[in-house]
Amino acid sequence: MVSMRAPFLSARANVILFRERYGNTPWTGVELAAIQDSCLKTGYRSLIFVQLDRKDAKPNWLPDTHIRCNMDDYSIEQLVGAIKNKVQENGGTIHRADAKSEAIRVRDEANYLADRDRLMRDYDWIAHVRKSISDTITEIGRLITEVNAESRLDIGFGTNKLGVTVLRSGYVSMGIGWQQPISNYVGDSDPNECHLWANEFSGMLGLTNEYLWYVEHPKKLKAHNFKVDVGRDRKVVWQRWSHFLRQPAKVDSPMQRTDHHEDAETVFG
Encode pLDDT of 16-47 as tens digits: 999 888 888 777 888 888 899 999 888 999 99
Angle at 114 between CA 109 and CA 118, to 5 degrees: 145
Q: Is the pLDDT of residue 8 over 80?
A: yes
Cα–Cα distance for residue pair 134/143, rounded to 1 Å: 14
Q: Is the pLDDT of residue 251 over 80?
A: no
Q: Is the predicted pLDDT of residue 124 greater than 90, yes or no? A: yes
Q: Give the contacts of 247 (CB within 8 A, at least 6 positions apart).
A: 260
Looking at the chain, the whole-number percentage of residues with pLDDT higher than 70 is: 88
pLDDT at 248: 35
91 CB-contact burial (10 Å; exposed 0-12 / middle 13-18 / buried 19+): exposed
Mean pLDDT across the chain, nearest whole number?
84
% residues pLDDT > 90 (the chain) = 46
pLDDT value at residue 255 = 38
pTM of the model: 0.62
| 3-state DSSP assignment of residue 213 | coil
Mean pLDDT of 90-107: 90
Pick left, alpha or beta for residue 170 (phi over 0 → left; psi -120 to 50 → alpha; otherwise beta): left
CA 77 distance to own-chain centroid: 27
pLDDT at 52 over 60: yes
Could you give phi then psi for residue 130, rounded to 5 degrees? -65, -35
Residue 158 in this model has a pLDDT that exceeds 90 = yes
What mean pLDDT comes out for the span 155-182?
Answer: 93
Confidence class for position 215, pLDDT limits 50, 70, 90: confident
The amino acid occupying position 269 is G
